[in-house]
Every structure is written in C-alpha cells, then in structure tokens.
Structure 1
C-alpha cells in the first residue's frame, strides 16, 4: 500500500470511527437474525424432525457399520425434510425483527434515522433476508478484534483519491501567480505556488497524490524561477526580517509568521528533493540562493534543519563539478557565520562524517575534489575554534583508539591493519593536519587571538603521535606510498604551525628496506603514481621502476623537510646526523644514479650549513634568548639560500614530471574508454547479426 494521503488522514480522524461503529452494529444485528433462523423448533434437540427418522428405523447401528457407509434410500412415500413448523418459525423471526426495529426507533432514534438515510434496505424485511445484504468479507471481519486494518482503510482511500480533481499548471496560470506575488502577496497564494512546485518536481513520484499536474516544459521552467527567485522576495514583503548584529531574525508579532512557517516547513521537502537531484551549476546556485533567503524559518525545526544541511553537505562532498562545490561551500560558510549557535555543531560534524563516507574511492581524478573538500572544511572549523577543538578532540581520539585496536590485533590476526591502512583513515589524518595548519598559523593566531594560542593548537601533539603510529604500523615496502602521504601531512603541519617534528628518521628508514638493499628486476611497467596511491601492487615490488620511484620520493621529502629550517640558527646541528647517515649509505649502495642524487643533496645541505654558520658567527646573544633566535635571518628570503635555490629547481622538475604523468593517465583512460566503446559496438553488431539470422530462419520456415 502506498503512502496515506491527506484526505484519507482527515477521513480517519473525523469519520472513520463512526463508520466502523455503524458497521459493527449492522453486523451484530445481522448475526442476531442468523442465529434466530438456526434456532430449533422442536422440544428435544436430539430428536430428528418430522418423518426423516423413518429412513433409519429398520437399521441398527451395528447393521449400519457392517454394511459400510452407503446411506439407505428413503422410502417412496417419504416426504421431504421440511415441516410446517419451519415456515411458521421464519414468520416468527420476521415478526421479532420488526419488533426490534420498533424498539430501536424508540431507544436510539439517531441511529434509526441514520439507517433510514444511509441504509434503508436494513429496515425493509418484507420478502427479503437480511443476511443477503452481508458479504462474506463482512462475516470474516466481525470475528476479528476491534482493530482498524488496511483492508478497511484502503477502499476509502482509493475512493477519496478518485474524487481529487487535478489542476493543470499552464503558462497563463504561472503568470497570474507571478502577478499576485509581485503586486499583492498573501499566504494563500504562497501556499498554492509551493503546492504546485512540489507537484512539479515530484512528477515521477507515484507514491503520493497531488492537486496539481504539469506537462508543459515552459510552464515548468517558469514555475521554477517563480518559486526559487520571486517567492522569497514575496515572503519578505509579508514578513520583513529584523537585522540584529548582521543576523536575520523573524519578527514574532507579525500575524503572517505562523502561516508562512507552516508553508515553508512543507516546502522544505521540495528543497531536499532538488538538492538530491542537482546536476548543473545554474540549478545549484538558484536552489541554494532561495534556501539561504528563507533559512531563518528552518532554525526552529531541528530535525528538518539537519536534513537540509545533510543534503547540501552531501553535494559538497560527492559532486564532480568544482563550481557546485564552491557554491555549496559558500552557502555553508555564510549560514554558519550568520547562525553559529544554531547550526555550527551540525555543520562541522556532518561535513567530517559525510566527507569520509564519500572518499573511499580515491584516484587521480577524484583527488583534487577531495583536497578541495578538506581545505574548505578546514575553513569552517575556524569559525568557532572552541567548538572545533571539542569536536576535533573527539575525532582524533577515535583515530587513536582505532590505531590501538589495530596494534593489538596485528599480533593475533593478519587483517588487523586494514582498519588503518585505507584511504578513509589516511584522509582523516590529512584532514586534521590541514585544519591545524590553517587555524594554528602564528600569523593567524596573532590576528585572531591577539598573541594568544588557538585552542586547536593543543591537538597538534596527539595528532602527530597518531600519525607516527600509523606510519610505523606496517614498515614494509608495499605501504611506502602511505608513509609518504602521511609524511607530507606532517611536513605541512610543521611548516604552518612552526612546531618541530622529527620527520627525517621516518624518511631514512626506507633506505634499510629490501627495495634498496636487493638488486632490482628490470620489467616493463608504467611509472608508479605515488601521489594518488597508498599501496603498491605486488607486480611492482622488487622492480627497477619502483626503486627509481622510491629514490625520487626520498630526495623530494628530504629537501622539503630540511628547507623548512634553511634559515634556522640551528640548521648545522640539524643536518649533521643526516649527512653522516647518507654518506654511509652511499658507500654501501651500488645504485649509481641514486648515489649521485644523494651526493647533490648532501652538497646543498653542507653549503646551507656553512651559510648559517657564517651568519650566526656575528650574533652576540645565546640560545636562551628566544626572541632573537626566532628573528634570526628574518629579513633574508629562503629562496636565496643554497638549499632554497636547489628546492626551487627540483620543484619545477617535479611539476614537469607530474604533467607528463597526468597526460599519460588521461591518454590511457581515453584509450580504455575507446576500447570499451568498440567492444559495446561490436556486441551490438553481433546482436543485430543474430537477429538478422533469426529473421532469415523464420522466413525460410514460412516458405517451407
């Protein structure tokens, strides 16, 4: 059974109980009549009636069973089993029924009058049997409990639906509505437009009946523009917002507020339907604009407000169009800043949870959109940093619990690491690193908190510890791409917050793996994409292609880490252990190409260390003077340092490599689509050929 209509609900509320009571009284009366018809007329119920006993007078019980179950035939002179007493009893029953009707008229005149108006046949007993008016279904219903079943409601609902008259939405009708909304808006015309709009966008939904129906595409487009653009303006004409500290407030003294609120509450389902079906930028912009204009009316409906925000955030996190992402983020940012106390918590939690649900599929094409989601959500977490800290603490703690459970499970089960080594967990760590990088920047803290630290800065240490634990969970070459992905998150966090994180030991650990110590196999494989993968396939392990990729990643992450401190007064002490370990590796390594790259990196590190040593030889303060230490070479640009110049060149070379890799991936994807299209076309041709063969066979059979 479909969804119960409004007319049916109204019938159930006002008339269904009385109708069922009436039906029960009729059934009770009919049952009484039926019982009287079955009442025996003789004095002894065990004695057979009339002459029917003559059939078995000449046979005992033993003789009957001995002869089988053949019933003896009645005698020729035997009469049918019907006596005059039966006819007289029926007459008496009819007289009793008539007397009961007279008593009913005196005892319950209202019900008797109701029977006269609605079911007059029940009062007419001449020449008819009351049982004939009762169907088999009603006889079964009278044995059930007093429960309103769907079988009783459904016929009434169908009857009500059939009586609903449809109104065709035409272009002149929309024009007339537009004229009324512009000149003299009223709650009545606003309700009509909302009802028509709801019917138009649910035109393919058969589960609910609507008063309006639309078939003209031009009328549909005009109705869309009227509802989404003109309707909010007309509502503000009736109920004008009060602006208090750049926050829109609905005046409760206005007589139209209650009616408009009820209309917009029903209208919210139309917004949600449109948001779930958005497929172009124009529609998204128009819907979000209209929703933002009437958004204050939904603040009092908590459940409805959460559904609206969920629909918007779902588009923001799953769409493939950057313009739609920007439009949805702009909407979320505006309403969050205007109504932070009402919706901020929902926006932050929903943006995080829904994003994680939609980031399972990560590849070269989806990564830019996912990064935009993380960066834009990080901006939302900066609106109320105290609330953001509470939410962030809860989610970072969940990540730590998952890591602890995975560490405990690895000793007992082989699958324990899968809860950590997946894209959702990696995106979570990367997301929080972006949040802290944006909100805990010293310059931003100076601007927003007046030399005070951001509340979110307290999450840096636990997040770093969880990230380090995830990196070292499975230290094998197969998961080196995941290690590199999380190391980049730590480098970003260290660069933006100014917090020192010992990252180089994580990078140098890969030099002791089998990927570098064993001889690599030469195979023909495409270059592995470390930017968009966290796990390498088995076919790449132990190959020359993978080893060269690891070498490039090692050099890149090393110089990206050390360049963060290229102007730091303690740079010589920072790079000394790294230089010693790299020189030791070069002596043992037989990879000539990688050794040259490492030698070049060591050379730039030493040159930069000499520059810092030369500059700090002129200072007169000690390490305890933190202010002067932080201001060391503050006016000197990092690009002019030896290591900085080297990094700039390397970054340009990386951009060129990524561009070539992107073009190769796009060409491969295009070739794959062409092959798929060719296979589909060949399948169609084969099907058509088979159909032609079948037609030829049919023609030959007809000729034969």
Structure 2
C-alpha cells in the first residue's frame, strides 16, 4: 500500500499542473490536493515538489547540503527545515510559480516558519532544562559584587531581644545570631561577601549585641534543648546530639561557640577577654559535641592563662579546670599536658617582676593535677623523668 501511494504521488509539479493543455482551475485543484497530501506525510515519505528542470541543480544543492552536514546531523534535520529550503529554491528558480502559491496556498509557505518557531521553543526549553542549577544565581551575584548591607541599629537589636525574651521568637533568635556573627567578624580584613548582609555601624550596637548574646543565649539554648538551666554532664549532651531538637538548634549553638572563639582571639583588652571567658564558662558542656572547637578552646584558654595578668589568668584557669572536670578524660589529659608546658615556658626566665606570677601559675598547676591523681601520677612520672635527663646532661656536659 505504501508503494502504491508513493507511485501515485511522486510526480513532479509540472506533471501535476500539465505542460500544455487543460483547464487552469482543474490544475490548481489537483495541485492543492497534492499539497494537502504532502503535509500529512511522515519524514520518510517526503516528496519533492520542485518543477521539472530543477533536478540537476537540486542534486548539486543536495550534495552541498550533504557535505555541509556531518552524518549524524543530517539525520537530525527536521522536515520543516527541508521543506523551507525547497521553497526558497523554488522562489529563486520559478518566481511566477512561487507567486501563484502565495495567492492560492499561503499555509504552505507559512508551514516552515511555524515549525521552526516550535523547534526554537523546544530548543530553548531543552537549554533551560540542561542549565546548571545555581548558574543564574551565580551570574546575579557576579553582577552585584557589592550588595546593599542592612544597617543594624539599637532599635532593631532591642526589638530582637524583646521578641526573644517575651515571645520566644525563633526568627528573632536567628537574626540576632547572624548579627552576632557580623559583630564578631566586624573589621576583619578578609571578610567575604558570602556572610549575612548586615553591618554593625556603631560601638553601642556592637556592645548591645555582645552583652546580650554572651549573657542570655546560653539559657535560651538550654530551654530550647530541654536541659537543665546550669551545669550538665557530657553524656547528656552526647545523647542529645541524636535528637530532633539538636538537629534543629545545634547549628545555632555551634555558630555561637565558633564566633565567640573568633572574637576572643581578636580581642586585645584584658577586661573584655575576661568578661567573654567568664560568660562562656556556662556553655562549656556544649563543647563535648564539637571536638575540634574543644581543642581550640583549650589552646586559647592556656594562652590567656600563661600570658595574662591578674583577673584574666584566674578566669582562664577556672575555664580550663571546668573543661578538665566536665568534658571527660581526653580533655583532662590535654589540659594536664598543656598547662605543664605553659608553666615550664614561663619559668624559663625568672626575675623579681615575674616571681609572683610564676608562683600563681605553680599553684594553678598543683590544683589542676589534684583533680585526678591517677592521671596526675602518669604525667608527673613522665615529666620528672624528663627533668632528671635534663639535669644529668647539664652535669655531664663539658663547659668552657
């Protein structure tokens, strides 16, 4: 059936219209019938409608098209594109016949354009589907390298604090913690643009944020997590780590501790450092969930204990002792080893000005080693053996 259909419809346009006699209207009718048939054909049954005499040129054009397109691209060429090229060649070779088509069958001439538009839309939709997620956001970010930053005022901070304390607003707490991060990193030379679009402009705003967060946020976290208002054990926090509450609020706790550590290392005023360490003591138990942060806090506290004076050394030692007592044997081992090294480093050069400070540091070492005598014995044995070796080398070494 398909072969008969092709045999009946593969005549050229000149044959359809007739080359000599016949009624023009009957020819037009036959041609229109052929055109309607052509539009129903599948791509594999496509019939050339060019008049006689164009076969040679068509074969040359076809060879050019075949050379221009790779083998695989030829297969992807749509029916509408082929049809459009046929009509363009017809317009060049036989303008009269093209005008005739224009008057009697405009749909045929518009067929190609409509299909091409549809193909372009499909291509656009495919491109949109293949677009890399986030690419548009990245380009937008590149266009706006310096986005506007929201200025934090005392009124805004007061509103957040009121909503947190009176309404237990979680949204206000998150906003305040973002502002706390901005305050802790304020003035950093390497601050990136990926942080929150907030800006602390005045010292009053900075002080208000720091004081409220360091004073109140530990109690807020404990209430949200459903643990006791003070103290706490390491086991309790480790069990809490697998609960839905911790998954919801744990990121806020980590943000608070990491940003507080950052600002602590940037501070130069002893009173501010002492206040910050004193307020952070109540949140020591949360460090059990963050071993990396715990090691950094031990290192920072030992530094302030050995290099600070007066109240700063005392507050730092109390912080170290609380970590050693409440966070388990691993933390105790790190504190015992670290406090001995810092003490030895301070005893390297002794003078009358440093004598009182060295005596205070020695008393702190004795206090900390008294927390766990079994661990203290192991460390003391190692350190005494090292001292004996140093003393022996000093006696036996030849001097000038």
Q: Same fold (TM over 0.5)?
A: yes
Does residue 1:182 correspond to 2:165, yes or no?
A: yes
Query: What TM-score, normalized by structure 2, do the two folds share?
Result: 0.60
In structure 2, the partner of 1:238 is 224
- Aligned to 1:286, which of 270, 275, 283? 275
Does residue 261 of structure 2 align to residue 272 of structure 1? yes
1:377 pairs with 327, 352, 365, which one?
365
Distance change (3 Å), C-alpha of 1:380 and 1:300: same
Cα separation, partners in 2 of 1:343 and 1:105, compared to 1, 3 Å:
farther
Deviation at 1:168, TM superposition (A): 2.1
Assess if the C-alpha contact under 8 Å between 1:229 and 1:286 holds in 2: no
Once residues 242 and 380 of structure 1 are traced to their aligned partners in structure 2, the CA distance between those partners, rounded to angstroms, is 26
| Contact 1:104–1:112 under 8 Å retained in 2 | no
Number of residue-to-residue matches in the alignment: 289
The one of 61, 73, 84 aligned to 1:100: 73
Q: How far has the Cα of 1:384 moved from its partner?
A: 0.6
- Higher relative contact order (Cα pairs below 8 Å, separated by 6+ residues): 2
Q: Structure 1 residues 349 and 165, CA, compared in 2 at 3 Å: closer, same or farther? A: farther
TM-score by length of 1: 0.36
Mapped contact 1:197–1:224 kept (Cα < 8 A)? yes
Q: Is the 8 A contact 1:197 1:227 kept in 2?
A: yes
Over the aligned positions, Cα root-mean-square deviation in angstroms equals 4.1
Question: Which runs of no fewer than 5 residues in structure 1 stay unpaired?
Answer: 1-87, 120-154, 416-704
Is 1:301 matched up with 2:290? yes
Partner of 2:201: 215
Q: Distance in 1 between matches of 2:346 and 2:125?
A: 62
More helix by share: 2
Superposition pairs for residues 382-393 of structure 1, below 5 Å?
382-393=370-381
Deviates more, 1:303-312 or 1:287-296: 287-296
Contact 1:229 1:290 in 2 (8 A): yes
Q: Tell me the secondary structure at the aligned position of residue 203 of structure 1.
A: coil
1:200 equivalent to 2:188? Answer no
Deviation for aligned residue 1:99: 7.5
CA distance in 2 between counterparts of 1:257 and 1:185 reads 17
- The answer on 1:310 being equivalent to 2:299 is yes
* Partner in structure 2 of residue 173 of structure 1: 156
SS in 2 for 1:204: coil
Check conservation: 2:222, 2:229, Cα contact below 8 A.
no
Deviation at 1:324, TM superposition (A): 1.0
**Could you give the per-residue CA deviations for residues 487-508 of structure 1, whole angstroms, max 9, x where no partner exists?**
xxxxxxxxxxxxxxxxxxxxxx
| Local SS of the residue matching 1:241 | coil
Inter-CA distance 227–244: structure 2 relative to 1 (3 Å threshold): closer
Q: 1:97 to 1:317 in 2, by over 3 A?
A: same
